[in-house]
Each structure stands twice: as C-alpha cells, then as structure tokens.
Chain A
Amino acid sequence: DAKTTQPTSMDCAEGRAANLPCNHSTISGNEYVYWYRQIHSQGPQYIIHGLKNNETNEMASLIITEDRKSSTLILPHATLRDTAVYYCIVRVVEGNKLVFGAGTILRVKS
C-alpha cells in the first residue's frame, strides 16, 4: 500500500470549513483513498473514500487531484466535536489490511 503524508496538526475555527490535505504520490491505479478519524480514546470512524472522482457524503467531501497524487478532506462546517485525529490511508480495495500513518490532529476552536 502507498504511503501517505499529512500535516501533523491543524487548527480550524468553529463553523468554518476544515480542509485537511494528504499527499500520496506513489499511489497506484487500483488503490483507493480512505479517510478515518479517531476521537480521543475511541475506535476510528470511517468518513469517506474514493478512487479518482470527487466524493461527498453526509460527513464530508473528498477532493482527489487529477493525477491522484494528493487529496483533500473537507469538513464543510466544523464543530467542536470534529476535533480528532484524521487519517488518510490508501489501499487496494480488495486488500485485507488497513495500515494507519501518523494522521493530522485537527483542533476546532470556538
């Protein structure tokens, strides 16, 4: 599975959009981009995933660049409850493992 690079931490004002970047320059054609988040002392929670098209669900939007070497997770209206560690992971859809990197600590502030 391709390796990802994310900023260590980010701050965001409550009510504003939070844009979390992820670099995955070695991604291959059959690897998907997944985003999970982990709120303190809880198990990770699935947010969204995509292959090459932009995706949106009730939680977030995922923007993948045309060359697929990077992506951005967008939380449109961040709340204090969105404070968490956000993990960007790439893997083959049939792949059995989900390997977590360091992630980005997002702090939403009032």
Chain B
Amino acid sequence: GAVVSQHPSWVICKSGTSVKIECRSLDFQATTMFWYRQFPKQSLMLMATSNEGSKATYEQGVEKDKFLINHASLTLSTLTVTSAHPEDSSFYICSARLTGGFEKLFFGSGTQLSVL
C-alpha cells in the first residue's frame, strides 16, 4: 500500500523558535497533501490543503503566516510552525492523495510538537 512518511516523529523546541515538519509520499506522487492538527482527546482538525506548485489553501481561523506550507514537489510537503508558542503544542498529521486517485487518503504517523 501507499506509504506516507512524516518527520520528525516528535520535537521539543523553545518558545519563539521555528519548527519544520516534513511529509513525504514514498511510493506515489501526491498532487494534494493535507495538514491536520490534533489536541489531546480531540478529533483531527484540518488546517490546510497543500497543492504542488501553488499556494496552500488554509481553513478558516488558521494563520497562514504562522503555519507556512510548502509543496515544492509531488512527493514532499513541509509545514513550518514559525515563532512557536506553548499553545502550538499539538499532534500534527499530514495526509496525501494519490495523483488521479480520489478514493482514499494515506496518512503519516504524525509529529508531536512540544513548545517549552
């Protein structure tokens, strides 16, 4: 089956620093990738849709200048949390959709971000 690799699995950073999370589709090309965040005991919340070669589309209430998304190739999307604060501590998950395939999404294993 299709594999989505997310890196790092967990990261601890100081308040005010920036953190980059990578999402790679290992064995398929993904025109579209999605970024979610999840707080403890809550459901996944869609943050943005990332399209290869174009600007990401952010969901209402998500700050695009704080959560920078880049989708430079068909196999890689990155999420950068800029000037991180403790309230940004969360579980971030990416997913990818097969190019030309609409049936299902494949998810990464997630990144636990802790901002001190």
A interface residue numbers (CB < 8 A to B): 34, 38, 41-46, 49, 85, 87, 93-94, 96-103
Binary interface encoding of chain B residues 100-116 relative to chain A, with 1 for a CB under 8 A from any of its CBs, else 0: 00111111111010000
10 shortest interchain CB distances as A-B pairs? A43-B107, A100-B44, A46-B104, A100-B43, A44-B107, A43-B93, A93-B102, A43-B110, A43-B109, A43-B108
Q: Are B43 and A41 in contact (CB under 8 A)?
A: no
B interface residue numbers (CB < 8 A to A): 4, 6, 32, 34, 36, 43-46, 49, 91, 93-95, 97, 102-110, 112
Q: A94-B102, A96-B49, A96-B97 are known; give 20 further A-B pairs, CB within 8 A.
A: A38-B44, A41-B91, A41-B110, A41-B112, A42-B109, A43-B4, A43-B107, A43-B108, A43-B109, A44-B95, A44-B107, A46-B104, A49-B104, A96-B32, A97-B49, A98-B105, A100-B44, A100-B46, A102-B43, A103-B43
